[in-house]
Structure 1
């Protein structure tokens, strides 16, 4: 499988962002779990791992803009829409059940995780549709 230039740039960006994420997350967990930082510094340390995650969304948007192959762009759009549907459906259902005190509170960063899982679902659906159309 050959990747387009936009897909290669996306892959490089995501690998770099994943490395930055791990580099920021582990020290944040260590420092905050042990209460080694407090006050404004704790907020800064706590928010830093969010920036690479935000970068993942930016990288997907950049790939959509940079992709010159309309079919590849459509696949990424469909995959992203499926991921959004999965995450928003999960958040809505969990939110109602949590609001009725039938489920415990779920941290907000769970929803991007579900969105990324939805990207995987969208990728599988794209493959199934491609096979059916072939």
Structure 2
């Protein structure tokens, strides 16, 4: 089965943005380690790795707009809603745990990591459910 053109574009966009993320993250870490910027430049540099992560959400949004198969689009939206709910629930619980002194501070950028992990888990569980339906039917 060949890959639909919108999925090919999505894959190229995602690979490009994640390459940019890797380069930016390594570059900014090296910059801060060897010749730390100061003032406003330090703030701009520190936020740079967040830009490609934000672009991942743009790439995902573009895929949703470009998808021709409404059923697959609905499944993706469902997976994203599950990932968002899981992420908000976990980060809220962590906030309360931190607020009551039960855990140390957790960096905010882990929210994106949780979301992407939850998105992958939702898609895997959907796939397992589909396999079970085929086996039963």
5 Å matches for 1:104-119? Answer: 104-119=104-119
Query: Deviations 1:58-110 (Å, cap 9, x if unpaired)?
Result: 11111111101011101211211121122111101101111111011111100
Shift of 1:35: 4.9
Shift of 1:44: 1.3
Query: Deviations 1:1-50 (Å, cap 9, x if unpaired)?
Result: 53222221111111000110111111111122345211111111111111
1:37 and 1:110 map into 2 onto residues whose CA distance is 24
2:37 and 2:78 map into 1 onto residues whose CA distance is 43
Structure 2: which 5+ residue stretches go unaligned? none
1:128 and 1:4 map into 2 onto residues whose CA distance is 23
5 Å matches for 1:83-94? Answer: 83-94=83-94
Q: Confirm or deny that 1:45 pairs with 2:28.
A: no
Partner of residue 7, structure 1? 7
1:34 and 1:91 map into 2 onto residues whose CA distance is 33
Q: Secondary structure at the match of 1:68?
A: coil
Q: Confirm or deny that 1:97 pairs with 2:97.
A: yes
Structure 1: which 5+ residue stretches go unaligned? none
5 Å matches for 1:36-75? Answer: 36-75=36-75
Q: Secondary structure at the match of 2:108?
A: coil
Structural RMSD (CA): 1.3
Q: How many residues align?
A: 134
